[in-house]
Structure formats: C-alpha cells, structure tokens
Structure 1
C-alpha cells in the first residue's frame, strides 16, 4: 500500500510517551496534574458562547474561505486598537481555522522548489507544526537554535548566503513557545529588511501576544513596510477558545491574495457560527484581562516556589509557559519522568528541539487549586 514516506518517517509525537505514563498512573487511581500541553482551561466568556449559539441556523452552507465581512472588520478593529495599525479588511486579512492548519499548510503557498526556493528556516526549540508542514511540502528545513545567551532570539548572522538565496519562508514565533521570550521591534525590522533583500516570506506566529506580564509585546505588523510579511494570530490562547478553531492571517496584500486563491482548495474556513462568536471575542478585552490575571497569579506562585527551592527560571516575561533550567547533569526527560512519578506532568525541553535540552516547560493551564496542589508536591521533589 503506498503511503507517503514523509508520513512514515515522522517520529512518534514525543508527548505520547508522557501521556501513556500519565494514563497508567490515573488507572491506578492516582492524581495527575498536567502542565505538559498548552491547552487553556480558563472558561470561555459567556458572551462568546451565546454568540455561538445565536449563530446556529436550521440550515448552514459551506463557509466562504474569505470569511464573513464582520469578522474581517472585527480583526482589523482589534489590530488597530492593540497595535495602532490600520488594516483593510478586504485586502489585508483572511480568517483561518485556528492557526495550526494555516501554519502547517503555508509552505505550500510560497515554496518554489523548481525555481530554487526550496528552504524553510525555523527556530528551535519550538512548535513542531511549521517543521512538519515544510517537510510535507517537500522543503529543505534549516533550524536556528534559540539560546539563552542570545535572549532566545535566532542568530541571523549565522545564516549562510546560500541559505538566504534558497529560503522561501522564515518562521518566527514571539512571544515564544516554549521560552516565553519576546522580540523587540528592531528584531522584526532587521528580519523584514532581510526578507525584502533576499525575497523570502517572513511569517510571524503571534499566538501569545496577549499573554504578557511586564509590558504588551509588539507585532511584526508594526513594521512600516509589509512587503513579504504575514502575521498569524488566533483566539485559542487569547480567549481560551482552542476548541473553536478560529484565527487569522494578516499582512502583505499579495500574500493574502495568494491565500484567498489557495484556501478554497483545502476547505479550511471556520464555521459561520464560530465566526460570529469570534466577532464578539475580538471586540472585547475584559475577558482577556481576566485570563491574563489568572495566569499571572499562577505564574507568581510558581516563581515563588522556584525561589524557595533554587530552581532557575530561564524564560521571558510572556506566554502561559515557564521555561526552567534543570540541574547540571540532569536531562530534561529524566527530570520530567521523576516529576511524573510524583503526579506532575511537565514537558521536557528536548521534546521541543535539540536546544531545549537542559530545560523543562510548565504550561500554566491547570486550575489555581491544582497549581497549589502541584506546588505542595514540587516543594519536596524539585
């Protein structure tokens, strides 16, 4: 039976091993507190849920790939209020089914393998979807390490002229998963200039811009020139709406036009009732502030714990993640296995990329009570 060698060559998602061990522990009647996966458990605002219900009709046709005009306008309004940037809802924005599918498929839109633009550059450790999407599209993949001594920003000077010549797509993700680092506007300015100079697409995954604890992060949309630039964002983290699957891409109108041509082929647009709920979500900041406050309290409790037990928090001031250093000589998987034996799941940094070794990631998604119970456990075992 013919099966794609790209598919058969994919390693088993490493978190499966942790999930299997957690399932076995639960089968024994033992509690497991899961900080492994970044799936928010904060409640979705009731007004969003009501808009979803109100949007359901007796018959609903296929949603158009370009999305409802009201949703594109809501996205443009939010970007203007949040970043001071004016978007044309008709030419600068297209809704997506969350951001995962859009990130996975985007390499197919911009790669020109026959023309020598066959390379996708990404950073690691990081979200694996961009890598896998590039591989399925037939791209060569080059990963740049995110190192603590560089503030978890990639070393752009380390990219060879040949790589720049072959690059079709360069992915960045700030605020960063897993490190929590943020990027200054100067970083985007330099990378944007490189994108124009070498004619590759700069794609910025900004799913965590609203989960911050010092000052609001910037967006690549704040660049003066959007040539070859697209930004991906989503309601999943901002509004605790992972199950709704609603996001957007915004930026260079030529790239948005290409997406409008591409996306009807794969049929990935949010259902209309989800789009109507999304209009409400993008138009409201009160529920976002509540969620941010909840994460801030969990973060405070864990940072106090780390101070007490001598664990170094190495990460930055944003996202729902804490990126902590392991003890010298202890691998990230060994530490995660040790913590799981006591009922606490964390993500080993090595599962997220080679440069993640020496760190573990806490996703602050359990309830506040669960966080307190986990802290009582960790007090004695970290």
Structure 2
C-alpha cells in the first residue's frame, strides 16, 4: 500500500502531540487544568438543545448540500442585524460543517497558491499541501498589530495567489483587523483576481473595545467570502455548524464541489442552528463568562512573568514567555504543575517565544490555575 507522502512530510498534528504529553502527565498522577485546546466547554444553551430534539424526524433522509432555506435565511438575517449588510440567502450563503472542512477544501476549489499568516491556524497550509498547492506565508508580529504587511508583497506573489486566508479576530494572537485593512485586502483580491477568505470564527468574543469588523463590510463582495461558526458564539463545537457567505461565484463553486465529498450538515443540526442564529441574549452571556475567566487568570500569569502580547478579542491569551523561555520548554514546565497551554511554535515560526492559553476551563478551574501559578 502506498500512502500519500504529504502525510509523512507533515508529521504528527501539533495538538495530537499535546494530547500525548497530557496523557503522560495524567499517568504520572498530575491533575490537569487544560488551557491547551481551543474547544469551548460551556453548556450549549437549553433552547438550542431543545430545538435539536424537536427537529429529529422518524424518517431520516440525506441532507442537501445547499442547506435548508430556513437556515440560509436565518444566517442572512443575522448578517444583516450584526453588520448591516444584505446578502442573498439563495446565492450568497451556504451552511457548512463548522469552518474547518471549508478551510480544508478551499485549496481544491480555488486554483493557485495559498496565502496563510504565521503564526496562524495550521489547517489552511496543510490543506494546500494535500492539494499540491504552493504555500505563501504572510508574517505577523506585534509591531504591526498582527496584521500582514500587504504593501510589502510583490506583484509576482499576488499573481500566483489563488486564495489569501485572513483570520480576525485572530487565532492565536487575539488581534482584530480594522475596516480599512479589510477593504485594502479586498481591493487587492479584485485587482489580482484571487479569493480573500476571512475566517471569523471568533467574531462574537471580545474582552474590550468595539465589536470586531467583518470582511462582509467591505462593500463589494466580489472575490470575498467570510466563514463563521456557532462553535464559539453559541458553545456548540460538537454540532459542527457554520456558514460561508459572500461572492456568489465562489458559493456556486462550493455547491458544485460539496456533493462529491458528502459534507452537507444534518438537517436536525441545521434547525438547531436556526434557533442559535436567531438569538443574541445567550451570546452576551457567553462573552461575559469569558471575560470573567480572563479576569481570574490574567493577574496570576502576569505575576508569573508572562507578558500580554496579543489583542482584545477571541477567548485566547497570547503571551510572551517569561524571560524569552523556549515555548515548548515553558509548556512542559507548566504541565508539571498541572497547567496545560499550547506552545506558540504550534502555530508556525512566528509563534516562537509565546504560549497560548484558551479560556476553555470553568471559572472555578481558572481560579484554581491562578492559585497554582502563585504557588
């Protein structure tokens, strides 16, 4: 049997390595408080769970790749309320299995090199390799507010590019992108005919300041799409429910592609998603809870020598390690105290000297972690 050589070249997915280290620590009797994986562990609101149960039918049929009209309409209505933007639910909105599957498949739908930020979410770059695409890294650093320098990119790079992935609010840094930056990126996408794909999974979580801007607000959505998900906003990671919206030509291409790979969301999940997109009260509660957890943990991290190096959004803390300590060594040291974090190196070379804390544990666990840090 001959396996795809890309599998061997990639090695083990970074967070699988983290799982192995956690298992070894547990085997040594260490009780863990896990800030490593960015997986919400909040209770899914009861009204969403009830909507799911009520949607289950005695006869189950295959879901359509285009999604239910009622869900596309709910997403379009949410976009209108949140951003003041009108999108056509029939031609500009497509329900998805969260965001990851769309990020991975985009390299097969759009031709050309794949632009990714570093540090950044690793799936876009990995999908490019599986599709045989060139990966072009756009470095991020604190001096630029963790925004790539678009003016430093040569015309030859823009000419090769098929898709540029931006992720704001940003994982892992928590940075947000101002509207002018998004408008500039969209203008470049139209000028050089590449796709600007904005992963906005953390759009509803921020600690301070105004609500983050969206790629949907750039005006002309030609060559622009935005992805979003209910995983963080509504504490629904296990539901795998999100959407992609924007350029009608790209949405049509995805509708053509997706029946080939069988990624249509299950209809009961779609109907539960309708309930989630139609309600904002629970989102305010989720946002307040993450702020509370940050307030419990951050003073102890600061006293332990960490420095806040990130932005005001997401549910991540992006921190410089004490005294420039190696990121993986720092994570191993904290693991011995039962505190799990993700080394910044997991997110690319730009993450060196940093760690990421995901505020997934309960407030009580955050308080306990703060006590361990002080000890």
Q: Is 1:335–2:334 an aligned residue pair?
A: no
Structure 1 segments unaligned to the other structure (5+ residues): 112-117
Residue of structure 2 equivalent to 1:56: 56
Alignment of 1:160-239 (within 5 A): 160-214=154-208, 215-239=210-234
Deviation, 1:302, is: 2.2
- CA deviation after TM superposition for structure 1 residue 327, in Å: 2.4
Instruction: Write out per-residue CA displacement over residues 93-135 of structure 1, whole angstroms, 9 at most, x where no aligned residue.
Output: 0000111011100111111xxxxxx311110111111111111
Structure 1 residue 310: deviation in Å?
4.0
Partner Cα separation in structure 1 for residue 295 and residue 60 of structure 2: 45
The counterpart of 2:309, out of the listed 314, 336, 346, is 314
**2: CA distance between counterparts of 1:328 and 1:304?**
17
- Alignment partner for residue 352 of structure 1, among 347, 351, 359? 347
Name the count of aligned residue pairs.
374
Matched, 1:378 2:353: no
2:129 equivalent to 1:135: yes
Whole-angstrom CA distance in 1 between matches of 2:139 and 2:20: 29
Is 1:85 the counterpart of 2:85? The answer is: yes
Deviates more, 1:4-13 or 1:148-157: 4-13
Q: Trace 1:82-121 onto structure 2 (pairs within 5 A).
A: 82-111=82-111, 118-121=112-115
In 1: Cα distance, 2:54 partner to 2:159 partner: 51
Q: Does 1:5 align with 2:9?
A: no
Query: 20-29 vs 261-270, which deviates more?
Result: 20-29
Q: 1:15 offset after TM fit, Å?
A: 2.6
- Residue 43 of structure 1 is matched in structure 2 by 43
The residue that corresponds to 1:114 in the other structure is none
Contiguous gaps of at least 5 residues in structure 2: none
SS in structure 2 at match of 1:328: helix
Aligned mates of 2:56, 2:179 — CA distance in 1: 41
- In 2, Cα distance between equivalents of 1:192 and 1:95: 23
Residue of 357, 361, 369 corresponding to 2:356: 361
Q: Distance in 1 between matches of 2:2 and 2:21?
A: 33
Secondary structure of the residue that 1:248 maps to in structure 2? Answer: strand
Distance (whole Å) between structure 1 residues aligned to residue 160 and residue 337 of structure 2: 48
Contact 1:306 / 1:313 at 8 angstroms: preserved in 2?
Answer: no
RMSD: 1.1
Query: Is contact 1:250–1:256 with CA below 8 Å preserved after alignment?
Result: yes
- TM-score scaled by length of structure 1: 0.96
Measured in 2, the distance between the counterparts of 1:72 and 1:172 equals: 23
Say whether 1:290 aligns with 2:277. no
Offset at 1:379? 1.7
Distance in 1 (alpha carbons) for counterparts of 2:341 and 2:28: 20
Give the TM-score of the pair, scaled to structure 2: 0.98
